[in-house]
Chain A
């Protein structure tokens, strides 16, 4: 059965919390959507409900962290990243507290619920603040790897995952490097840099292109900040033609960050794919992706266009 990344996060924390009593999970009436109901049952003394109060969710977490606790604030990405952005800026980043923010149901996971529930600006908002890292893992294996890193360190991070099960990109025994993009496919004609849900889309697009004799490199940039500059520069030099794809506004997200690295170090042709700067059409996540042409075929078409440009 397909597993969600949010469930993997809950599993890693549930296991780690048996040994490390300082690990706490805080929810804002979001334990169900965060897959944390089990954690609340197995670790009642390490589970804190703050009610529908996302600002205080973050401030209380910061207060706990300042006293040596290791809080994980779990709330929908849309609210956590925008309702609480000032608490993230001041209480977490500026005060340098070890708070891990888990943005669940990110991007357009809540498709038909409308713009209020779309977390499509979180990279832009949080990445612009110093003293915090931003991660969007792709599948269950990468999510598990990332969370195993998170429970080991003492610095702030924002981790965004989707609501629906994410397709497996990797085999169960895949090895990952922390803060290093994962090369999903090798190739030298173009590079697709993706994160989150779109890594599997990019992988499929590379498959379609291969049939046409076009060899595309696919990079899984789960580490949005600190971004893996070295791997981007290498790709720009070796393949040119960089396409980025993300479940985020085309403004201020992965594409913008890759573009900064490319422009400053190794300029090449680029195309940024993502959610348009407009209110999105009503529909499920999959329907919205199809409507915006964010499909394997759509991405493959964009790669060909860029190469010919």
Chain B
């Protein structure tokens, strides 16, 4: 798929995420919308994974370290045929549902369970290391939040990934600048992340607009290089991207739209699909 097709798909999926959260009366819509373009690119163009290859030892792996953006991940996976979109929409968060409010690896396509922050990257280091040990060509992609970077366990992994020269590991930081209590700089300043990670020894790609699929595809292409360094994409995204009244508002980290807001958001999203 080209960048435009991917963007269209992401906007359609934003509508599906909206349906899910409105119906279930729960969800993390702000982070879903900041990360959904990244996920759409990964699963439809970048990663070597499909419903037919979920158990293939050579498949690319993905871990959603910011597990609360699961509604976007489930939507992208359902759209790719890993499981039924209808079942997802009807049962998300319901009693006994497999569609738990954080990734559940009993569902096809979900590699690891997350939810508590700071776990995905070190697990990804283990997966990438296994690939190196077995001389397999797969890559491991991990999405983290930016507020999540306050978790010390991530920094243990930023260090070990360089130590083990894991150039098959690609971390993507969803740099939307907001977390539940406010801006990341107010809550716990993370400063110049690109510079910090360069100092740690990572190959850093700064993506100015992390909701622009063309820019993302270019960054992912760059990260296919295997030159002994792990890659990190600092994707400057917009929390709530795609719906005007949700954009850049910390309040939409975990907020369910009213009926009026739901209808308005649907309308806006429809207008963006070309």
Contact = CB atoms under 8 A, between A and B. Distances in A.
Nearest to A26: B126
B156 interface: yes
Interface in A8-58: 24, 45, 48, 50-51, 53, 55-56
Contacts of B113: 90-91, 94-95
B195 to A, nearest CB: 23
Interface residues of A, number: 27
Interface string B105-141: 1000001111110110011111111110110000000
B172 to A, nearest CB: 17
B193 to A, nearest CB: 20
Nearest to A60: B126
B122 A48 contact: no
Nearest to B115: A90
Contacts of B131: 67
Contacts of B152: 55
Interface in B214-271: none
B57 interface: yes
B53 interface: no
B95 to A, nearest CB: 19
Given A50-B160, A59-B157, A69 B130 contact: yes
A302 interface: no
B181 interface: no
Given A60-B122, A60-B160, A63-B125, A55 B130 contact: no
B25 interface: no
Contact of B126 (A45, A55, A61, A86): A61
A68 interface: yes
A30 to B, nearest CB: 15
A66 B142 CA distance: 15
Interface string A234-266: 000000000000000000000000000000000
A60 B112 contact: no
A17 to B, nearest CB: 13
Instruction: Name the residue among A45, A48, A51, A66 with the largest chain B CB count within 10 angstroms.
Output: A66
A218 to B, nearest CB: 41
Given A56-B122, A86-B116, A95-B113, A66 B127 contact: yes
A199 to B, nearest CB: 35
Contacts of B5: none
Per DSSP, are chain A's interface residues mostly helix, strand or loop, or mixed? helix
B272 interface: no
A67 B123 CA distance: 11
A214 interface: no
A87 B129 contact: no
A48 B129 contact: yes
Contacts of B84: none
Given A51-B160, A55-B153, A56-B157, A90 B119 contact: yes
A63 B127 contact: yes
Nearest to B121: A59
B2 interface: no
A56 B130 contact: no
28 contacts: A24-B133, A45-B133, A50-B160, A51-B156, A51-B163, A53-B159, A56-B125, A56-B153, A56-B157, A59-B123, A59-B126, A59-B157, A60-B122, A60-B126, A60-B160, A62-B112, A62-B126, A63-B126, A64-B127, A66-B61, A66-B123, A66-B127, A66-B130, A67-B127, A67-B131, A68-B130, A91-B119, A94-B113
Given A56-B125, A64-B127, A66-B61, 13 more contacts: A50-B156, A50-B160, A55-B153, A56-B156, A56-B160, A59-B153, A59-B157, A61-B126, A63-B128, A65-B126, A91-B112, A91-B119, A95-B105
10 closest A-B pairs by beta carbon, nearest first, are A63-B126, A59-B122, A67-B130, A60-B126, A56-B156, A53-B156, A63-B123, A63-B127, A56-B122, A64-B126
Interface of B: 57, 61, 105, 111-116, 118-119, 122-131, 133-134, 152-153, 156-157, 159-160, 163
